[in-house]
């Protein structure tokens, strides 16, 4: 499933010079693309305005003066460095954890025959259809009972069993050449050996795709960390921003600076791994969490 570049309409093959139609259509698309870029520009430019100009100049395309004042303030007045570190910890922790758990389970479901295999698989998959809000209160109470409130583990652990991740990895493993596994078994290799020596190297592309999806989901998530994390020093960036907006007098100068800090790492990753991002997310129902 890749984003194919095939043209749906027969290419006339007569001339390669851009036609009027082509120029017109491309211009229309370009205008839409520019409109989609404006919010990014606006975020950046607003972060560089003086605090009192942020809303006063909210309609000014070009700022009268630029300043890094907001970034200085955010470093002085908020634990934004801790927030960033927490976002990194949560993202790395939940990504690595999910990959381990999902890959192991996918191997069992793809390669080993055992009783109730399909029943287990289908019921796990069906749970993807559970809206997350339904789990909110029971999980909150569970975290209290497990003493995991206000801890990184409390944010990470309940989300590790990712049903669609399991589905994706299982499908990928089913697509591997069966002959390799049969040969290894004939040679007397155990399942443990097969898993580490054969399967893991072969599923690297799937691991990369899932890593991008898990990481992006966790980096951007608000609802669950908002409930688990109680003390300011434990917030990830998303929760930090939300509390700054939620103040009696919202501190937009700080909010916007944090928003820039939250967006830049993802944009850098996207520049490096554009294809993987688009193909990976294109295979997933994202935003269902």
Partner 1 sequence: MATDTTHADARSGTSPRGRKPKRPFLHRPAVVAMVFLLPFLVLYVVFRVYAVGYAVVLSFQEIQGIGSSEWTGLDNYQRVLTDRTGFTALRNTMLYTIGTLLVLIPVPFVLAAILRSRWVARQSMFRSILFLPVLTSLVVVGVVFSLLLSTNGLLNGFLGLFGVPAQAWLETRHLAIPAMIIMATWRWTGINIIYFTTGLSNIPNELYESAAVDGAGPIRQFWHLSVPLSKPIILFVTVLTIFGGFQLFVEPLVLWGSGGGPGQGGLSAVVHLYRTAFTSFDLGYASAIGVVLAAIIMVFSLIMLKAFGFFAKDR
Alpha-carbon span 133 to 175, nearest angstrom: 34
Q: Measure the N-to-C terminal CA separation of the chain; round to a whole number of Å.
A: 23
Choose which of 37, 81, 92, 174 interacts with partner 1 (CB under 8 A): 37
259 binds partner 1 (CB under 8 A): yes
By rule CB under 8 A, what string of x and - marks binding of each residue 199-218 to partner 1?
--xx-------------x--
Q: Tokens 């955010």, residue?
A: 74
144 binds partner 1 (CB under 8 A): yes
Smaller CB separation from partner 1, 61 or 76:
61
Smaller CB separation from partner 1, 38 or 68:
38
Smaller CB separation from partner 1, 55 or 175:
55
Q: For the beta carbon of residue 51, count every other beta carbon within 10 angstroms.
A: 17
**CA geometry: angle 162, 164, 169, nearest 5 deg:** 95
E strand map for the chain: none
Choose which of 48, 90, 102, 148 interacts with partner 1 (CB under 8 A): 102
Residues from 162 through 191 that contact partner 1 (CB under 8 A) = 163, 166, 180-191
Smaller CB separation from partner 1, 88 or 157:
157
Choose which of 58, 66, 81, 200 interacts with partner 1 (CB under 8 A): 58
List, in order, residues 6 or more apart from 195 with CB less than 8 Å away: 104, 107
Residues from 62 through 91 that contact partner 1 (CB under 8 A) = none
14 binds partner 1 (CB under 8 A): no
CB 172 to partner 1: min, Å: 15
Instruction: For residue 177, report the phi and psi dihedrals to the nearest 5 degrees.
Output: -65, 120
Contact 215, 284 (CB under 8 A): no
C-alpha dist (Å) from residue 253 to 46, 75, 250: 8, 12, 9
228 binds partner 1 (CB under 8 A): no
């Amino acid at each position: 499933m890749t984003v194919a570049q095939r043209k749906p309409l027969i290419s006339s093959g007569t001339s390669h010079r851009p036609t009027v139609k082509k120029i017109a259509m491309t211009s229309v698309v370009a205008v839409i693309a520019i409109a989609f870029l404006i919010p990014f520009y606006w975020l950046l430019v607003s972060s560089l305005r003086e605090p009192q100009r942020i809303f006063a100049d909210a309609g000014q395309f070009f700022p009268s003066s630029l300043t890094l004042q907001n970034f200085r303030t955010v470093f002085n007045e908020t634990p934004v460095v801790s927030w960033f570190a927490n976002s990194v910890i949560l993202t790395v922790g939940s990504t690595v954890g999910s990959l381990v758990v999902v890959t192991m389970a996918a191997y069992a479901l793809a390669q080993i025959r055992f009783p109730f295999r399909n029943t287990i698989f289908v019921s796990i998959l069906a749970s993807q259809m559970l809206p997350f809000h339904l789990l909110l209160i029971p999980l909150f109470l569970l975290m209290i009972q497990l003493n995991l409130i206000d801890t990184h583990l409390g944010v990470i652990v309940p989300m590790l069993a990712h049903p669609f991740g399991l589905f994706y990895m299982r499908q990928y493993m089913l697509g591997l050449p069966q002959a390799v596994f049969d040969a290894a078994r004939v040679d007397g290799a155990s399942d443990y050996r097969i898993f580490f020596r054969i399967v893991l190297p072969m599923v690297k592309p799937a691991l990369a795709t899932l890593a991008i999806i898990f990481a992006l989901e966790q980096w951007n998530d608000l609802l669950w960390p908002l409930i688990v994390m109680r003390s300011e020093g434990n917030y990830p960036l998303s929760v930090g921003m939300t509390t700054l907006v939620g103040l009696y007098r919202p501190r937009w100068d700080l909010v916007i600076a944090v928003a820039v800090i939250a967006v830049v790492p993802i944009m850098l990753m996207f520049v490096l791994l554009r294809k993987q991002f688009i193909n990976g997310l294109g295979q997933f129902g994202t935003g269902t969490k």
